[in-house]
Amino acid sequence: MAILEHQKTDPLMLLAMLLLIGGAFGVSILAPAAMPWAFAAIPLIALLAYWIARWDLMALSWMWVCSFIFLDWDAWKVEIPGFFTMNPPRLIFIGLVIAYLLYFLRRGSMRVDRKVFAVILTLLLYLAWNVTDSGWVSEVSAFRAAPYYRYLGAIMIPLIALWLVYNMVRDEKQVMWPFILLSIAGWYALYIGYLQFAYGGGVHWANSLIWPDYILEANKAIDMERARGPFRGAGMQSTFLVALFYMNLFSARRVRGVFRVLIWVQLLLIPPAIFFTGMRAGYVAFLTCGVVWFLCADRHRAGALKLAIWTTLIVSLATIVFWTNLTSTDRRTGGVAQEGPIRARKILAAQAWKIVQKKPLTGVGFGHFIDEQVKMPHDPQSIAGLRLVMVTQHNVFLTMVSEAGIIGLLLLVGLFLAVFRESLSLYHKIPIDAKGWISREFVVVFWIIMLNFLVCGMFRDMLWEVPSCVLLWSMAGMIIGYNRLLEPYPINLVSGGQVRS
């Protein structure tokens, strides 16, 4: 009796349980067949929430990033009348936000003490006004969801994630989470990519090993002829694998034993998988990021000399061995000579210029490039014979200036510059001899992730690729967070990378 009288009820934990139960009832009403699964998930989610709240919410953030690799498919979507369609990554994000709010109410405060967040807020508010003024749905039925899908999925949610991750940075060990979890997810992406390439090469039984099988549905994805991994398009697979390669180079120097062996095996498997995607932007990004890695991360290891030697050998050997494939028009085997997409991008760039001349400041409306583009005269010998997807803009900056005008373009560029400035500040705060997880190489990895995004963004509209946006801005949140953590003085690190007390 005395024990019962001294027990205290935690209102936040009670609120969390009520939300879980209410969510289970909501799912059961909207999808009765899912009721057993919804209620079975309550103890599992509660256990996960309790574990993370007592330990490290950064883990949940990167589990959410990985969910775009494992769970982001139409087969698991839930249609909610009068609301947005929900899928596992979106549900996990809602859980992530609730977990952060509960954490902050219990233990800390929310920080918005950096100039970069003024740029973020301005961009979010401006684009919200822009898309509201022009309409949240497109007039073209095939792209009806473009305005709200791109604003919510590629802009708002990733930037909210940036702020959440920024607030959760508190010690050096948290740096490990994206490298560990994304490396685990990378095995799945490689597994699917290799099987898809084998199937395209005539190994028909390879498809039977792909799970879940909805990845094979042609109406749910593009680039069916390429190795697109678990994603909807080969571009996302390429962007992810390029980033993962250099993340693995970083973590391979900080782990030992079997983990290091697994990372090096994965490193060997990634370059062919990038080639399997058939994404020329991926080839360029991979080589460009290699230059940055060798010159910045390996500067004290004669990086320039190694760069010259290895690049010359690898490029020369690959060119000789795969010359026939590279000069063909078959994208599955290299296909850099395929001219259709190149011609289409020139036409799309010219159309973007016409739109800018017509509406220079605010554009035609965020997500509405396609509405304006279909009204323009088409040359039957050029873009008309190409795939429908090619009528969308294929450059992230041309997209922004066309849809949101010069104001939107300046805000987007300003955001990249503000984040880069934070990373540069962090780079100079870290001692050059720091070899732990917080080191100058960690900042270089972020530069590579951003460069990878921007290089690919020169050839594709990255605002269609939500996983790529989520990865970039979540990592940016860590960079800004550590830059704030190390103020007002540079961190005191020993050569092994451990923080001195």
Q: How far apart are CA 225 and CA 193, in angstroms?
A: 11
Residue 7 has what pLDDT?
A: 38
pTM: 0.83
Residue 170 has what pLDDT?
A: 85
Q: How far apart are CA 451 and CA 210, in angstroms?
A: 31
Amino acid identity at 234? A
Residue 119 has what pLDDT?
A: 95
Quick one: residue 335, left, alpha or beta (phi over 0 = left, psi -120 to 50 = alpha)? left
Describe the chain by its helix, strand, coil percentages, rounded to 5. 70, 0, 25
Averages of pLDDT over each 10 residues, the chain, 501 residues: 39 56 60 56 60 71 90 73 75 85 72 84 96 89 86 94 91 91 94 91 85 70 77 92 95 89 93 88 90 76 53 58 56 56 76 88 91 72 47 86 95 96 94 88 96 94 93 96 78 44 32
| H helical segments located in 340-488 | 340-358, 369-373, 396-429, 440-457, 466-485
Residue 22 has what pLDDT?
A: 65
Distances (CA, A) of 333 to 248, 277, 326, 374, 474: 26, 9, 7, 32, 33
The residue among 468, 489, 485, 484 whose CA lies nearest residue 229 is 468
Question: Rounded to 5 degrees, what angle do the CA atoms 205, 206, 209 make?
Answer: 100
Hey, is 420 helix, strand or coil?
helix
Residues 405-439: b if buried by 16+ CB within 10 A, e if exposed: bebbbebbebbbebbbebbebbbebbbeebbbbbb
Report residue 420 as tokens: 């880069």
| Dihedral sign for Cα atoms in the order 174, 178, 179, 180 | positive
Residue 495 has what pLDDT?
A: 42
Residue 352 has what pLDDT?
A: 86
Residue 54 has what pLDDT?
A: 61
Hey, is 363 helix, strand or coil?
coil
